[in-house]
Amino acid sequence: MKTIEFTDNELQILIQLLDISVKAQGLNVAEAAIILAKKVTAVSNEPVEPLFAEPTLVPAEDSSEDSSEEDSE
Protein backbone atom coordinates (compact mmCIF):
# COMPACT_ATOMS: atom_id res chain seq x y z
CA MET A 1 0.00 0.00 0.00
CA LYS A 2 1.19 3.51 -0.89
CA THR A 3 0.24 6.84 0.69
CA ILE A 4 -0.19 10.07 -1.26
CA GLU A 5 -1.27 13.39 0.21
CA PHE A 6 -3.73 15.51 -1.77
CA THR A 7 -5.24 18.90 -1.10
CA ASP A 8 -9.03 19.21 -1.34
CA ASN A 9 -8.59 21.01 -4.67
CA GLU A 10 -6.42 18.19 -6.02
CA LEU A 11 -9.10 15.68 -5.00
CA GLN A 12 -11.70 17.71 -6.88
CA ILE A 13 -9.46 17.70 -9.96
CA LEU A 14 -8.92 13.94 -9.66
CA ILE A 15 -12.68 13.36 -9.60
CA GLN A 16 -13.04 15.63 -12.65
CA LEU A 17 -10.41 13.63 -14.53
CA LEU A 18 -12.18 10.38 -13.64
CA ASP A 19 -15.47 11.86 -14.86
CA ILE A 20 -13.88 12.98 -18.13
CA SER A 21 -12.30 9.57 -18.70
CA VAL A 22 -15.63 7.78 -18.17
CA LYS A 23 -17.37 10.17 -20.57
CA ALA A 24 -14.63 9.63 -23.16
CA GLN A 25 -14.15 5.87 -22.82
CA GLY A 26 -17.48 4.74 -21.36
CA LEU A 27 -17.82 1.35 -19.75
CA ASN A 28 -14.21 0.45 -20.52
CA VAL A 29 -13.02 2.65 -17.64
CA ALA A 30 -16.19 3.07 -15.56
CA GLU A 31 -15.49 0.28 -13.08
CA ALA A 32 -11.97 1.49 -12.31
CA ALA A 33 -13.20 5.08 -12.02
CA ILE A 34 -15.92 4.09 -9.55
CA ILE A 35 -13.44 2.25 -7.36
CA LEU A 36 -11.08 5.23 -7.29
CA ALA A 37 -13.88 7.75 -6.77
CA LYS A 38 -15.20 5.75 -3.79
CA LYS A 39 -11.74 5.73 -2.23
CA VAL A 40 -11.42 9.49 -2.70
CA THR A 41 -14.88 10.09 -1.22
CA ALA A 42 -14.14 7.80 1.75
CA VAL A 43 -11.10 9.83 2.84
CA SER A 44 -12.50 13.25 2.01
CA ASN A 45 -14.06 15.36 4.77
CA GLU A 46 -16.85 16.44 2.46
CA PRO A 47 -18.51 14.89 -0.57
CA VAL A 48 -16.44 15.30 -3.70
CA GLU A 49 -18.31 16.60 -6.74
CA PRO A 50 -16.92 17.82 -10.04
CA LEU A 51 -16.62 21.62 -10.09
CA PHE A 52 -17.79 22.16 -13.67
CA ALA A 53 -21.35 22.72 -14.81
CA GLU A 54 -23.33 20.29 -16.88
CA PRO A 55 -23.37 21.13 -20.58
CA THR A 56 -26.52 22.81 -21.85
CA LEU A 57 -27.95 23.34 -25.30
CA VAL A 58 -28.41 26.91 -26.44
CA PRO A 59 -31.42 27.35 -28.71
CA ALA A 60 -30.58 28.49 -32.21
CA GLU A 61 -31.60 32.02 -33.05
CA ASP A 62 -34.60 32.20 -35.35
CA SER A 63 -33.96 34.89 -37.96
CA SER A 64 -37.67 35.13 -38.85
CA GLU A 65 -38.47 36.52 -35.37
CA ASP A 66 -35.83 39.24 -35.74
CA SER A 67 -37.18 40.43 -39.09
CA SER A 68 -40.79 40.52 -37.86
CA GLU A 69 -39.78 42.64 -34.87
CA GLU A 70 -37.98 45.11 -37.13
CA ASP A 71 -41.03 45.34 -39.45
CA SER A 72 -43.35 46.20 -36.55
CA GLU A 73 -41.25 49.16 -35.40
Question: What's the mean per-residue pLDDT of the chain?
Answer: 76
pLDDT above 60: residue 52: no
Q: What percent of the chain has pLDDT over 90?
A: 12
Please check whether residue 24 lies inside any domain of the structure. yes
Please check whether residue 2 lies inside any domain of the structure. yes
Give the CB-side neighbour count of residue 27, counting CA atoms within 13 A. 0
Q: What is the pLDDT of residues 13-38, one digit of tens each?
A: 999 999 999 999 888 889 999 999 88
Q: Could you tell me the residue range of the domain that residue 12 belongs to? A: 1-50
Our count of domains for the chain comes to: 1
Please check whether residue 14 lies inside any domain of the structure. yes
Radius of gyration of the chain (CA): 21
Using CA atoms, how far apart are residues 48 and 12, in angstroms rounded to an integer? 6
